[in-house]
Amino acid sequence: MIKFFRKIRQKLLTENKFSKYLVYAIGEIVLVVIGILIALSINNWNEKRKDNNLKQTFLLKLKSNLQDDISNFKKLSETNERHLIHIDSALTILNNHESYNTMDLQRHLYILNRSSRFNTNRIAFDNLLSIGKVNIIENDSITEMLFSYYIKVQKVKEAITEGLDSYNRNTFGPALFEFDFMSSSKFKTKELSEYIESPFFINSLEYKKLAMGYFNKQNDTLLSNASEIRKLISEELKK
């Protein structure tokens, strides 16, 4: 094709047909420009198709990760509710100690010394950040809500979950070990009245109830956020 155009140019020049050569040259330039524009258009279309495929892939992964979080939040909420029931039961026993014995109380305390924590699945979001392709999600609401959601998750993890771990380890645990929480034949089982007479123990139990209640509210909020984002992603995938 290049040889064909070259021959035409040479023929026009040898025949001294400059005006026709000029028209031909302009036409050739136009053809080249059109070719470049077509190539750019095809390239842009390919890039857009790749980005769209990448967007669909990441939206599906984000949706799956959020579903993992939703399942974890629901399980954690059930665990927290059981812990709150055990706290109320322990307080009821202490308030009516004449009708119970120490073993009735300890049955609840064994459960309460365990920690409740959650781990969210943010693999897809972190991968999206690492490759610098957050902008492929054209729905700004989804992007903004994802950033806000994962910031909240980190704050709850640091302030609540790790706080409860620290509280169990440094306050509630020592409060339990002042008594015969770990049964041993070397020690005589204490009466319930001795638990009641310890402000440190009672306050530790009451504070744990407040902390668990607050933790449950934060957990429910994150569950609602994750569900809302997952719904938006599902709608985006249908477009």
Query: pLDDT digit string (tens) for 195-236?
Result: 888 888 889 899 989 988 888 899 999 999 999 999 999 999
Query: pLDDT digit string (tens) for 24-75?
Result: 456 666 666 776 777 676 666 666 777 788 899 999 999 999 999 999 999 9
Q: What is the pTM of this model?
A: 0.75
Contact predicate 87/114, CB 8 Å: no
Residue 197 lies in domain: 2-237
Domain count, the chain: 1
Rounded to whole angstroms, what are the CA distances from 124 to 23, 138, 196, 211? 57, 16, 51, 31
Closest to 108 in 3D by CA, of 94, 87, 80: 87
